[in-house]
């Protein structure tokens, strides 16, 4: 029995070491990826439900590691966030997205919004407003076209500092959306204090429409909340006409999801702008 016990112990430490090593090597790969500039953006259209026109895009990070295909953000953003790599990475994402938006505007495309995810750690930077304003200046993108997507937890966990940084960002003229709305544990009172522009209904509520009555209630409550607070509202993860019908009935203004388009490379996004979305 004693022998067996030691064996199990050895097994566990080996497993832990493997895990730690894996993290370490992933961290090294991420830093190298920054040096080698292996990150790129895909763009997913934001759609006005009334006329199905593209009103903007959300920029979503992808990692093109040579020999390893296109790695989705779920596989590297969490570790980037933990290690702080998200700070230089997030800046690069912001710069690429603003540059792309500026070039689409210069080409005459009539779109209003480039949405970029801002991680909690980025939002926590005391000089985040200066970083954003520096990138706007550098790329020549007028602030009103940039929308920063923040999660509820990023806002709530940072107390009074969050209010000040949010105010500083809004003062630049950029817009702010609450991402994954409804999945945080927050009280709703922060909606009064924070100068935000838009709620994004999390896709977990949209997924089972129209079969799950609770999800439909929650979705319609969020849409109503946005309307009463004079905020824009967009539903994420819209995959079916039935979901879209429900959102239209509830007077939701905007939608995003595979029904319209997956996130696509810049060139494909631009051709969507030229030809519209076929449905």
For residue 184, state whether it binds ligand C2E (rule: CB under 6 A).
no
Under rule CB under 6 A, residue 77 binds ligand C2E: yes
Q: Please give the size of the binding site for ligand C2E, defined by CB under 6 A.
A: 22
Tell the smallest beta-carbon distance from residue 59 to ligand C2E (Å). 6
Whose Cβ is closer to ligand C2E: residue 85's or residue 226's? 85
* Per-residue contact string for residues 118-137; x = within reach of ligand C2E by CB under 6 A: -x------------------
Q: Closer to ligand C2E at the Cβ: 76 or 228?
A: 76
Contact with ligand C2E (CB under 6 A) among 27, 65, 91, 239: 239
Output the DSSP codes for the chain. Answer: -HHHHHHHHHHHHHHHHHHHHHHHHHHHHHHHHHHHT-EEEEEEEEEETTTTEEEEEEEEEEEE-TTS-EE-GGGTHHHHHHHTTHHHHHHHHHHHHHHHHHHHHHTT----EEEEE--HHHHH-TTHHHHHHHHHHHHT--GGGEEEEEEHHHHHTTHHHHHHHHHHHHHHT-EEEEEEETSS---TTHHHHS---EEEE-HHHHTTTTT-HHHHHHHHHHHHHHHHTT-EEEE----SHHHHHHHHHTT--EE-STTT---B-HHHHHHHHHH----
The answer to whether residue 130 forms part of the interface with Ca ion (CB under 5 A) is no
Residues near ligand C2E, by CB under 6 A? 44, 60-61, 72-74, 77, 90, 93, 117, 119, 179-180, 203, 236-239, 256-258, 263
């Amino acid at each position: 029995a004693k022998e067996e016990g030691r064996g199990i112990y050895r097994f566990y430490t080996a497993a832990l070491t493997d895990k730690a090593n894996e993290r370490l090597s992933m961290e090294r790969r991420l830093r190298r990826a920054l040096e080698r500039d292996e990150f790129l953006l895909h763009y997913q259209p934001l759609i006005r439900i009334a006329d199905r026109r593209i009103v903007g895009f959300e920029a979503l990070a992808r990692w093109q590691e040579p020999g390893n295909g296109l790695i989705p953000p779920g596989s590297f953003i969490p570790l980037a966030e933990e290690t702080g790599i998200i700070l230089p990475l997030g800046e690069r994402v912001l710069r690429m997205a603003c540059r792309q938006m500026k070039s689409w505007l210069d080409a005459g495309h009539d779109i209003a919004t480039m949405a970029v995810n801002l991680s909690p750690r980025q939002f926590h930077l005391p000089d985040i407003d200066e970083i954003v304003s520096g990138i706007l200046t550098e790329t020549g993108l007028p602030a009103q076209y940039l929308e920063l997507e923040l999660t509820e937890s990023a806002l709530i966990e940072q107390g009074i500092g969050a209010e000040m940084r949010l105010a500083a960002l809004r003062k630049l003229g950029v817009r702010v959306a609450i991402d994954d709305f409804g999945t945080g544990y927050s009280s709703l009172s922060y909606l009064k204090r924070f100068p935000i522009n838009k709620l994004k209904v999390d896709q977990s509520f949209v997924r089972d429409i129209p079969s799950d009555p609770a999800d439909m209630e929650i979705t319609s409550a969020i849409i109503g909340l946005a309307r009463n607070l004079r905020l824009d509202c967009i539903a994420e993860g819209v995959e079916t006409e039935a979901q879209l019908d429900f959102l239209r009935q509830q007077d939701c203004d905007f939608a995003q999801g595979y029904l319209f388009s997956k996130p696509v490379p810049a060139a494909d996004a631009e051709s969507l702008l030229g030809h519209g979305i076929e449905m």
